[in-house]
Amino acid sequence: MLNPIDIPPLQTPIAAPGFVDFSRNAPWSSWFQQIGRALSEFTTIIPITAAHLVVANDAQGILLCTGTFTVTLPARNAAGDSYFVFNNGAGVITLAGTINGNAAGYQLINRYQYVRVVSLGTSWIVVANN
């Protein structure tokens, strides 16, 4: 016999068949909000096929990179700013900037590899990757 997973009881109504209310008043909604935030923040796909200097508007999308080139992160940025870079080709994508304390940056060497970086103000940290 399988042990049941300890999931809080559903306390929000089902809006329609197949649709569950994931509003903030559900006891498990914070978990869903944290997981879904990575996707909900990025509203557009931004195709990149050559060297690129990251700009503020890039934070609204997924930088979909194809080719071999460098994506340069700003040296100074507002703390908390976040960018999502995805390697969609066979090339190598190099992120230039101080990332995780490494001035040499970060590389996406395989197709379908991604990284999400967040600014600390004058440097960057990796918060998600594969």
CA distance 130 to 128: 7
Q: How confident is the model at residue 41 (pLDDT cuts 50, 70, 90)?
A: low
Map out the domains of the chain with their CATH numbers. 10-40 (no CATH), 43-129 (2.60.120.1230)
**Average pLDDT in the chain:** 78
- Mean pLDDT over residues 15-23, rounded? 44
CA distance 125 to 118: 5
DSSP H/E element including 30:
helix 29-40
Residue corresponding to tokens 């300890």: 6
Q: How confident is the model at residue 32 (pLDDT cuts 50, 70, 90)?
A: very low
What pLDDT is recorded for position 46?
Answer: 93
- Mean pLDDT over residues 38-66, rounded? 85
Note the pTM of the prediction, 2 decimals: 0.69
- What is the DSSP-derived secondary structure letter of residue 100? T
- Reply yes or no on whether the pLDDT at 16 is more than 90: no
CA distance 53 to 71: 6
